[in-house]
A and B are shown apart, each in its own frame.
Chain A
């Protein structure tokens, strides 16, 4: 047990798991966020069909995140969920309404517009709630022992509203670049019109969050301004990647803007982790405080090390099966 730090390994695994979730459900939630702005019903059909075969697998990463936290960092699970009680309900309600919309929308006729709304509002609310969770994490929680002792709406502040909206914009960018990758004609043209604007909005939020976060968290402020650090590479790279995405959009490269948007998310995500390190339940508790019994961490680790490559393998296979541009007649409607 002394040879390697199980908790550190689990930080890496959960970190990757949550990142997978953010990327993968990010683009399919983003497609939902953009739904009302699509140019036509045909475009809406295309957008939905482009994510229909994979959304369920994408959302499974969220469940892994939840269950994995309970297994490896039970304190995070037992503090975040009570602290975000109302927000978690909104997140789940949002995911329910958008999830059932996939099946219901194509079976409805007169009520189809209701499921359009269910899909877009559900996706937007779920994305906002996830962003607010990030904001609440930066803010920190009022904890006694291993229990949350704050109020029901401590998580809802101007700062978390801003991080919530930032994630909505970010997911929309992932969604629109995914749409460019997967569609042709009218839908893709619309994607090329929307993407630069969304990129601008996302960069706006990036600036806002970068200024506001050190003000909202002493720890982050010390981390960034206390010593000259390599952390400054994150914002520099963010600007470079954003410029690259814009250029690829102008050159109408169908696949690269999506890759670039994912890279932007990677920078935001790991930049955040680096800022908050090593706190799992700020302002006091580190990942090591929040960890479960080493025996439990090890028991699950053995299975995960074996199974995660297999999962990634067949997930990749399914993306390979549904690769390329969406053709009419595929998915639900046509």
Chain B
């Protein structure tokens, strides 16, 4: 069989970027939570906040470490496998990625060192400042990378001179048509992911009667935040969808499974799209609802996939199903978050073990939803690498051979499998150990707490086999 460097490069990029995306989506939300905890501790001096911050900072460090190393890979992928794209888009892409480094990466990396190891070396105010800088850095970073990504979907502010992109307006290129929606959608997704992990772990502790005080505090904080963020995400997601409809109607046609351009289009709930036959099998649909959602009118016209030639269509099945997974999970998130918030307000969280179980099962789901969402938007952009400007097939490095890409693909899968497995094992260990106990009555800090790392570490060092799970 002939090994196709283009196909293998696409698989490799999908793999390394999906693997990488898991980490920042969690750490962006968690960094803000840690900054909030540090602020509360700074202002109130209550040990419960300190302990929570210490515990979640430890989790953060592990996850952030994996995010950093998988992120370094990303910054070289463009050049190794997509050198034509890199070269021709460099006038825009290069400065944007560089701004991400100089405004965000240094900030995060340097202040994380102080956040992790500097509590007893700098004044409390400086330590709080470090926590805030890490949180701010994660947002600045996502702004730039999403500006670059959004530009690939809705390129603006540039003209093509001798085959290469030349920027005519930096404002139009950076604040391109889809950036505001994508950024809001992603920022909320990060808060939701971070929120459900914090809530899930805290619920798990409560069910086992451990760390009651700090867990209850963390669970309440995260559920109230989620009750606001999850419905808001529905609204932002809808706006993002409408923006996509305006600029990338073919992607929306794939998301909805619409082959024909039609008025009064149905909302297809279930179907097996068939690209060969250009139709859906086993379709279950609600008449008119598709037009109503997309155009906010019952007989609005919705563009179908057949409006463009087959070579300009994305793979329909992946986009269609990823979209349903994302939306379905989003609805579940709203339900759980609102139920949880009601129990918080009624003060009956601890009397609802079934709800606590459900919350603890939620931990992996936001990650699935985020990846599904990225699959929708990235696979839905195909066959374009820069929408309407450059095809992925024109972008791949010419000197690559199939076996070279296969070798590195196998290499990355192997390396990431090892790193991810170990990361999960150690994360599990840290979580089983839990935050240091909060003394009753919240007395003044004891000398013990002056060495926060030892407190977490001693119990984290228990061999896995003895872990209570």
Contact = CB atoms under 8 A, between A and B. Distances in A.
Interface of A: 52-54, 56-57, 59-60, 62-64, 66-72, 74-75, 77-83, 85-86, 88-89, 92-93, 95-97, 99-100, 102-104, 106-111, 146-152, 292-293, 295-296, 299-300, 303-304, 307-308, 311, 314-315, 318, 321-322, 329-334
A100 B97 contact: no
Nearest to A103: B65
Interface residues of B, number: 74
Given A70-B79, A92-B73, A147 B97 contact: no
B17 interface: no
Given A296-B92, A321-B114, A63 B101 contact: yes
Interface of B is mostly: helix
A100 B166 contact: no
Given A53-B117, A96-B73, A334-B454, A296 B167 contact: yes
Given A75-B87, A152-B404, A100 B80 contact: no
B113 A57 contact: yes
A54 B164 CA distance: 38
Interface of B: 61-62, 65-66, 68-73, 75-76, 78-80, 83-84, 86-87, 90-95, 97-103, 105-107, 109-114, 116-118, 121-122, 164, 166-167, 170, 397-401, 404, 407-408, 411-412, 415, 419, 422-423, 426, 429-430, 451, 453-454, 457, 460-461, 463
A96 B71 CA distance: 10
Contacts of A54: 113
Contact of A71 (B95, B109, B411): B95
Nearest to B411: A89
Contacts of A147: 83-84, 87, 397-399
16 contacts: A66-B76, A69-B94, A81-B76, A92-B76, A96-B73, A103-B65, A108-B426, A147-B398, A148-B399, A292-B94, A295-B91, A296-B91, A308-B102, A318-B114, A322-B113, A331-B117
A77 B101 contact: no
Given A74-B86, A103-B426, A314 B98 contact: no
Contacts of A77: 79, 83, 86-87, 90, 94
A149 B400 CA distance: 9
Contacts of B408: 85-86, 89
A95 B87 contact: no
Contacts of B103: 303, 307
Residue from the set B83, B404, B423 with the largest chain A CB neighbour count within 10 Å:
B83
A261 B401 CA distance: 41
Contacts of A109: 461, 463
B106 A311 contact: yes
Nearest to B118: A321
